[in-house]
């Protein structure tokens, strides 16, 4: 119930966000005195604001200029500068230089200036290039602030996260063109993921060495190894944010998104498979092994193909120059961080697909649970066909395992999503909430390992694999020993003492060949059992 309520809350927030298409309060422009057009648009200082880019606040009309043009914020109103920490009248001219990375370009006319220095974030610092060389910053054509030498935070900041102005220091009137960065960079706790990773890898390895690898085992292997890969990439991205080149940063972010989505879709595959098992719609003709192989190929196409389509869309929007940087649907991958841009892009391309998949999984499991109850009541059918009863019990056991996995996944990720949405909408989440989320991440890998590996039948299969491996190894040693005794030693003896050694009789040779044939047959039996 908790998971369903949480995901319903997520979808509700998503709908309201997309309906409002709101922009940051720090980037709003008062357009109340603009010219209203017949179609509802407002023209103000040469910019036409559609109804989607208008917001009504306290009886005044405000426009989201940064949804239409690239923009930057000036900390103080026009004709003012920052003197001793406050905005005061000053004759300093606001000169804005625009760059392509660190190369200056002529694009000043393409950027609008918004006057606002509001900062409701807990992290605020001033960048003064004349004072510190590492504070050098470059305003990009899309309005982003690029800090190539900065080592104490991100290297790219969005227009709503900084403002520019002339700062006058001390009594001597020394001035510098500075940037005030106002953000709330929260350290995404990765300790939990680091703890989970070994258990995810162990789960994969255990199922990889099992002698009997069925469809259930293959799906679980794909799920845990892709989740392991996503965790590994996310940890690397967050621990070394400033040591990654911009293009590599974008590539790593896209790969991380892909592996996360693939893991979610493999969870969906397991839900679909258990649903089909109890609905009797598994399809595919042929032997059981052949039917499972065909289903696995179909599942693979779904689990890898759907995330690939999403990644193609994200990559295309991230590299194209036809989409404005501040457009709400621009993923912003690699712009300031090796991940999706915070806000609507993260919701649209990550949390929303994940929430939809979890809801679909819950619906499939509820339907399957009803089917199990129906089949359980039909005991007469089960007594008539023991093979069906055995298959039913196996599927029921697998359903219980998947249900535990779904609940763990739902609780874990719903907490992550709710924390993110609260932080996005309200602006601050207590660190304790992130610690709880991190703790859930730590428990998740351990939980997966214990419910899928710490089972009696798994230990029996592992023991069987170890016994078979020992038998094959011992028989291999015996083979080489017999080879040496029947082939090598007589030849060596004949070479050394050919004049005195009797010839091998036909009967003894036939006995040797017969013995080796029996050994070969034993080896083939072992090999087929392992396969």
Statement: residue 14 has pLDDT above 50: no
H-state helical runs in 283-384: 288-319, 344-346, 352-377, 379-384
The pLDDT-based confidence of 513 (bands split at 50, 70, 90) is very low
Among 124, 129, 120, 155, smallest CA distance to 140 is for 155
User: Which range, of 73-77, 402-406, 471-475, averages the lowest pLDDT?
Assistant: 471-475
Least confident of 32-36, 310-314, 473-477, 523-527: 523-527
Distance CA 71, CA 182 (A): 16
**For 160-190, what is each residue's pLDDT tens digit?**
889 999 998 877 778 899 999 987 655 455 6
Q: From 251, 6, 27, 291, select the one nearest 159 (Cα to Cα).
A: 27
Residues contacting residue 292 through CB under 8 Å, at least 6 positions apart: 214, 215
Residue 527, CA distances (Å) to 294, 461, 480, 507 in order: 24, 16, 18, 30
Residue 229 has pLDDT above 60, yes or no: yes
pLDDT value at 275 more than 90: no
What sign does the dihedral 397-398-399-401 (CA atoms) show?
positive
Closest to 150 measured CA to CA, from 141, 168, 142, 162: 162
Residue 405: its pLDDT value, please? 74
Task: Enter the DSSP assignment of 347.
Answer: I
Do residues 299 and 273 touch, judged by C-beta distance below 8 A?
Answer: yes
Q: Report phi then psi at 240, rounded to 5.
A: -130, 60
Read off the pLDDT of residues 94-153 as tens digits, 9 standing for 90 and up: 989 999 888 999 988 889 999 887 776 666 889 999 888 889 999 998 888 988 888 776
Quickly state the pLDDT bin for 52 (edges 50, 70, 90): confident
> 2-20 and 352-377 helices cross at what angle (nearest 10)?
150
Q: Residue 494 has what pLDDT?
A: 39
Which pair of tokens denotes residue 428? 């601050």
* 450 within 8 A of 401, measured Cβ to Cβ: no
Q: What is the mean pLDDT of residues 358-369?
A: 88
- The total of other beta-carbon atoms located within 10 Å of residue 71's CB is 21
Q: What pLDDT, on a 0 to 100 scale, did the predictor assign at position 512?
A: 40
């Amino acid at each position: 119930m908790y998971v369903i309520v949480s995901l319903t809350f997520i979808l509700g927030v998503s709908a309201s966000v997309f309906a409002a298409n709101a922009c940051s309060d720090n980037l709003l422009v008062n357009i109340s005195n603009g010219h209203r057009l017949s179609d509802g648009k407002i023209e103000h200082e040469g910019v036409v604001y559609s109804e989607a880019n208008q917001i009504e606040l306290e009886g005044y009309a405000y426009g989201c200029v940064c949804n239409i043009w690239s923009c930057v914020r000036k900390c103080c109103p026009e004709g003012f500068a920052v003197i001793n920490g406050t905005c005061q009248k000053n004759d300093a001219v606001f000169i804005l230089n625009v760059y392509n990375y660190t190369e200056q370009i002529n694009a000043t006319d393409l950027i609008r200036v918004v006057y606002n220095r509001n900062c409701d974030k807990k992290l605020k610092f001033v960048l003064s290039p004349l004072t510190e060389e590492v504070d050098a910053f470059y305003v990009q054509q899309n309005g982003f602030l690029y800090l190539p030498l900065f080592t104490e935070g991100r290297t790219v900041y969005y227009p709503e996260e900084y403002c520019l102005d002339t700062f006058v220091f001390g009594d001597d009137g020394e001035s510098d063109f500075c940037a005030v960065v106002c953000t709330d960079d929260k350290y995404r706790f990765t300790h939990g993921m680091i703890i989970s990773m070994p258990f995810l890898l162990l789960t994969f390895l255990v199922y990889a060495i099992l002698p009997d690898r069925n469809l259930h085992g293959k799906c679980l292997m794909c799920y845990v190894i892709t989740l392991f890969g996503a965790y590994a990439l996310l940890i690397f991205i967050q621990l070394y944010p400033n040591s990654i080149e911009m293009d590599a940063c974008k590539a790593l972010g896209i790969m991380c998104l892909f592996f996360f989505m693939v893991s979610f879709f493999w969870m969906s595959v397991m839900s679909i498979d258990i649903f089909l098992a109890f609905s009797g719609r598994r399809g595919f003709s042929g032997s059981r092994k052949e039917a499972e192989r065909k289903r696995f190929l179909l599942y693979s196409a779904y689990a890898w193909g759907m995330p690939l389509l999403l990644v193609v869309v994200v990559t295309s929007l991230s590299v194209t120059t036809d989409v404005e940087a501040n457009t709400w649907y621009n993923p912003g991958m690699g712009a300031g961080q090796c991940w999706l841009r915070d806000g609507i892009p993260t919701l649209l391309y990550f949390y929303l697909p994940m929430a939809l998949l979890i809801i679909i999984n819950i619906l499939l499991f509820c339907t399957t649970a009803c089917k199990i109850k129906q089949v359980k009541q039909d005991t007469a059918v089960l007594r008539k066909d023991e093979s069906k009863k055995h298959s039913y019990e196996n599927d029921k056991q697998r359903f219980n395992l998947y249900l535990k996995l779904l609940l763990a996944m739902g609780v874990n990720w719903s907490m992550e999503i709710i924390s993110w949405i609260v932080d996005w909408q309200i602006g601050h989440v207590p660190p304790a909430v992130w610690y709880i989320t991190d703790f859930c991440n730590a428990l998740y890998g351990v939980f997966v390992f214990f419910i899928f590996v710490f089972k009696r039948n798994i230990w029996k299969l592992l023991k069987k694999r170890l016994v078979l491996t020992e038998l094959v190894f011992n028989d291999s040693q015996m083979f080489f020993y017999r080879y040496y005794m029947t082939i090598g030693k007589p030849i060596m003896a004949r070479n050394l003492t050919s004049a005195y050694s009797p010839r091998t009789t036909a009967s003894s040779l036939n006995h040797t060949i017969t013995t080796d044939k029996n050994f070969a047959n034993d080896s083939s039996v072992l090999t087929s059992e392992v396969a």
